C-alpha cells in the first residue's frame, strides 16, 4: 500500500484546476494509497484557496465547492498528523540547512 504525504500546495491542486492537478488528484482517487496531511494543512489549504479566489482564478461557486470537498476529504480521505514541537524544530533545522520553503 503506497503512502503519500501532501502539503498544502499539493492539496490545493486536488481542488483547483492548475498545473499538476490531474496527477495530484489521481493520488487521492487511488484507493490503495494512504494519504497523510499535517494538521496545519486545514488552515493552510483554506488560506491558499481563499487567495486563489481573491486573485480571480476561481469563482465563488468553485471556491465554495473546493472548501466543501476539502473538508469532506479531511474526514474521509486523509490521515491527519498532529505536529509536535519536536517535528517543528526538526523541520526548521532542515529548512535552514537546505533552504527549504515551509
Question: What are the C-alpha distances in Å from 19 to residues 22, 91, 92?
Answer: 8, 27, 28
pLDDT at site 91: 86
Q: Where are the domains of the chain?
A: 3-98
List the CATH code of the domain at 3-98.
3.40.50.1010
Confidence of residue 20 (pLDDT cuts 50, 70, 90): confident
CA proximity to 5, closest of 67, 91, 64: 91
Confidence of residue 49 (pLDDT cuts 50, 70, 90): very high
pLDDT digits (tens, 9 = 90+) for 53-83: 999 999 999 999 999 999 999 999 999 999 9
CA distance 33 to 75: 15
Question: pTM of this prediction?
Answer: 0.82
**Cell output for 77:** 480521505
What percent of the chain stands above pLDDT 70? 98
pLDDT at site 102: 64
Contact by Cβ (8 Å): 101, 95? yes
Amino acid at each position: 500500500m503506497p503512502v503519500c504525504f501532501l502539503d498544502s500546495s499539493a492539496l490545493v491542486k486536488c481542488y483547483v484546476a492548475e498545473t499538476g492537478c490531474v496527477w495530484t488528484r489521481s493520488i487521492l482517487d487511488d484507493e490503495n494509497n494512504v494519504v497523510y496531511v499535517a494538521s496545519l494543512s486545514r488552515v493552510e489549504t483554506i488560506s491558499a484557496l481563499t487567495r486563489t479566489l481573491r486573485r480571480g482564478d476561481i469563482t465563488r461557486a468553485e471556491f465554495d465547492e473546493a472548501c466543501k470537498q476539502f473538508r469532506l476529504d479531511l474526514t474521509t480521505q486523509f490521515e491527519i498528523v498532529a505536529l509536535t514541537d519536536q517535528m517543528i524544530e526538526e523541520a526548521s533545522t532542515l529548512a535552514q540547512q537546505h533552504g527549504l520553503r515551509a
